[in-house]
Every structure is written in structure tokens, then in C-alpha cells.
Amino acid sequence: MSIVKSFSVGNGDMFYIKHGSDNFTIIDCCLSDENKETIVDELERESKGKGVVRIISTHPDEDHILGLEYLDGRMGIRNFYCVRSKATKEDETESFKYYCTLRDGEHAYYICKGCSRRWMNESNDERHSSGINILWPDTAHKAFKRELVYAEDGASYNNISPVIRYNLNDGVHMLWLGDLETEFMEEIEDDISLSHVHVVFAPHHGRKSGKIPDSWLDRLKPRIIVIGEAPSRHLHYYTGYKTLTQNSAGDITFDCDGSQVHIYVSNEDYSVDFLKDEGRSRFDHYLGTLNL
């Protein structure tokens, strides 16, 4: 069993995975003055007793790193996973400066396609792995090298995002794509290994500029696409696929229990018609169950 939560943080991303093993993973950080205490209170509570707590930072846009300094001050970041880069910004915010300190510090681990790390995707006698694998970046790929130059020049950061896959044994498979842009995904489609997942979090907060290419969707065959909180006029709604729209749903919690995923949302008025009613009540505002 595991819990995956997508926080409603406005135009930004922040997730956590409370693994069934002795692991806890945070993906990205978007903490404002309005939400930081509530969110970090929950992170502290849910990660209590876990032997390994890691944060994976997909890329250094402000809406993915905002409040890293607060998170570190409260929880102490001892495992900071990121793509290796020399990204710069002309106008450095406090959070970007902190990102660079973590990126270049002793607790950094640089993720790339096929990387292995205890206990990210390697188990031993001490504890089981988290089930997280990195499908991208290929650090030798010419397209990725080009994007690293753009990031170093402070021009753009979206396409240095990793592709992160989470597999629960005999259970749900999920995929995160950071803020990858459509044209870049099309450019690398022959150089990334993709297979069926149950839930995919649409890149770039669901924006049309980050629409997942049809060639990717044909391989992923997602049961649910989660669309983020970009302004509605900028969203791509993935006609023909089942979607959860965070603009309307609020926080989304996935209670992953074997061959079932029980889904809860913070907006009690939000509903969909494609989930089965199993009458669950572990959290507030049960939306329904996805049978895998």
C-alpha cells in the first residue's frame, strides 16, 4: 500500500509519495506564505518514522522550487535528487539561490536515465526500495545537451525535466513529466522507453504547450490523466481520455491498495462518472475507485 498526493498549490507543482516501504518521496516544492505551514505540517506528519526522506526537484522554475528554504528549515533536506545542470538566472530569487546550494551540495544525487540508487530502486536487507525509476534524461542525447545550454544561459528550464516512473508492486504505475514541452517530447520519442501506466500527471500543469504527444499516449495508455492548475484558457483537456482537473478538484489523494486506487479530493462538490463507488472513507471527500 502507498499514498500519493498531489497538492493544489495554484500555478505550480508539489507531490508526495508515502511508500509502503521505509521511504517517503517529495516531488517538487511550491510553498507560499498562505500554504507553507499547512503543507509542511502534513509532510512532517506523514513522513514520521520513515528512514529515507528524499525530494526530487524536476527543474528550477520558481513554481517548482518556491519555498525550498522553508522546507529545509522545517524538515532538513538530506537527500536532494535533481538533474545535473549549471542553470542560472539573471534575477535570482531566494528559492533559486537555495536550489543551487542544494544542487551543488553534499546531499545532492544527480538523476538520469536508468540510474540506480539504494533505496530509490534498489532493495537490501535493511529496507525495500521506493519503486521509483528515472526514464529520462539521457545525458548523452544531443537534444538534452542543447537544453542544458539554454538552462545555463538562463533562457529556459522546462526541458531539463526528468521523466519519473513509480511502480507499486502488483499495483498502480504512475508517471511524472515535470514541465516537458510537446516539441521536445516529440524529438526524443524514439529514445525513451515508455510502457503502460495507470496515472500520468500532465506536464507543464496541463498547458497546451506541454500536451503529451499522441505517440507517447499510444504507448502509455493511461487510465487517468491529471491536469494541473494552469489557467483554463491554456489547458489541453485530452479528449478521449479520463481526466482529473486539479483546478476543480483541489488536492487529490490516491490511496493505492493492491489492484485498487481509491481517490479523494479536497473539493467535496467535484465529481466524475468513470470511477467505481466502493464506499471508502479513509480520507475526506471520497471520489471513487479505479480498479486496475
pLDDT band at 230 (very low <50, low <70, confident <90, very high): confident
Over residues 121-126, mean pLDDT:
95
Predicted confidence at residue 152, as pLDDT, reads 98
Over residues 142-149, mean pLDDT:
98
**Percent of the chain scoring above 90 in pLDDT:** 95
**Percent of the chain scoring above 70 in pLDDT:** 100
Residue 176 and residue 162: Cα distance in Å, rounded? Answer: 8
Predicted confidence at residue 7, as pLDDT, reads 98
Residue 189 and residue 215: Cα distance in Å, rounded? Answer: 8
Cis peptide before 137 (omega within 30 of 0): yes
Predicted confidence at residue 166, as pLDDT, reads 98
The residue segments making up the domain with residue 96 are 2-291
pLDDT tens sequence across 239-252 = 999 999 999 999 99
pLDDT band at 36 (very low <50, low <70, confident <90, very high): very high
Mean pLDDT (the chain, rounded): 97
Count how many domains the chain has.
1
Predicted confidence at residue 29, as pLDDT, reads 98
Q: Is the model's pLDDT at 234 over the cut of 90?
A: no
pLDDT band at 232 (very low <50, low <70, confident <90, very high): confident
Q: Is the model's pLDDT at 44 over the cut of 90?
A: yes
Predicted confidence at residue 189, as pLDDT, reads 97
pLDDT tens sequence across 65-118 = 999 999 999 999 999 999 999 999 999 999 999 999 999 999 999 999 999 999
How long a stretch of residues is the chain?
A: 292
Over residues 272-291, mean pLDDT:
98
Spatial contact of 147 and 159, defined as CB atoms under 8 Å apart? yes
Q: Is the model's pLDDT at 224 over the cut of 90?
A: yes
Strand boundaries in the chain, DSSP class E: 2-6, 15-18, 23-27, 29-30, 52-57, 66, 80-82, 108-110, 132-136, 163-167, 173-176, 199-201, 224-227, 243-245, 252-257, 260-265, 286-291
Cis peptide before 119 (omega within 30 of 0): yes
Spatial contact of 108 and 72, defined as CB atoms under 8 Å apart? no
Residue 64 and residue 223: Cα distance in Å, rounded? Answer: 26
pLDDT tens sequence across 154-194 = 999 999 999 999 999 889 999 999 999 999 999 999 999 99
CATH number at residue 22: 3.60.15.10
